[in-house]
């Protein structure tokens, strides 16, 4: 099996959203009623899953629309660690705007493609913690 991918991206808002070990108080917001909130500090999370199937998740496009996804290179496999900035979209979904990825079993962090993002919750299957 390969990475989990669908044409629609959903998040289960009834699931508890994991918080980072340390969260910066610095936040930036954009827009008015369609506001996105972004943590300015880089944080680290692990890609975990609740059930078998798939071997990782393809990158998603930046949900803020600020940067287009350059490629799906080096998509995170099960157990990968991701670094980036947390953003909460205007509809309340929490995402990580990824800057780098450390695949499970590797010791070398690699840059994530420009515009790469990962939802904190995907289809009650994958989640970031």
DSSP the chain: ---B--SS----TTSPPP--SS--S-EEEESSTT-EEEE-S-EEEEEEESSS--SBB--EE-TTSSS-----TTPPBTT-EEEEEEEE-TTS-EEEEEEEEE-TT----EEPPTTEEEESEETTTEEE-
Average pLDDT over residues 19-37: 47
* Residue 124: pLDDT band with limits 50, 70, 90: confident
pTM: 0.73
Q: Are 74 and 110 in contact (CB under 8 A)?
A: yes
* Residue 35: pLDDT band with limits 50, 70, 90: low
State pLDDT tens for residues 91-115.
999 999 999 999 999 999 999 999 9
Q: Which residue has the higher pLDDT, 22 or 54?
A: 54
Q: Which residue has the higher pLDDT, 52 or 23?
A: 52
**Residue 13 in this model has a pLDDT that exceeds 50:** no
Q: Are 70 and 113 in contact (CB under 8 A)?
A: yes
State pLDDT tens for residues 40-91.
799 999 999 999 988 999 999 999 999 999 999 999 999 999 999 999 999 9
**Residue 36 in this model has a pLDDT that exceeds 80:** no
Residue 79 burial (C-beta neighbours within 10 Å; 0-12, 13-18, 19+): middle
């Amino acid at each position: 099996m390969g990475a989990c991918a669908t044409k629609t991206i959903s998040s289960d808002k009834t699931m508890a959203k994991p918080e980072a070990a340390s969260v910066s108080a610095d936040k930036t917001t954009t827009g008015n009623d369609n506001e996105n909130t972004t943590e300015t500090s880089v944080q680290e999370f692990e890609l975990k899953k609740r059930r078998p199937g798939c071997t990782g998740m393809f990158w998603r496009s930046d949900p803020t629309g600020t940067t287009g996804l350059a490629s799906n290179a080096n998509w995170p496999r099960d157990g990968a660690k991701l670094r980036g900035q947390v953003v909460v979209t205007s509809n309340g979904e929490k995402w990580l705007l990824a800057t780098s990825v450390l695949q499970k079993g590797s010791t070398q962090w690699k840059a994530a493609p420009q515009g790469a993002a990962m939802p904190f919750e995907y289809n009650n299957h994958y989640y970031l913690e």
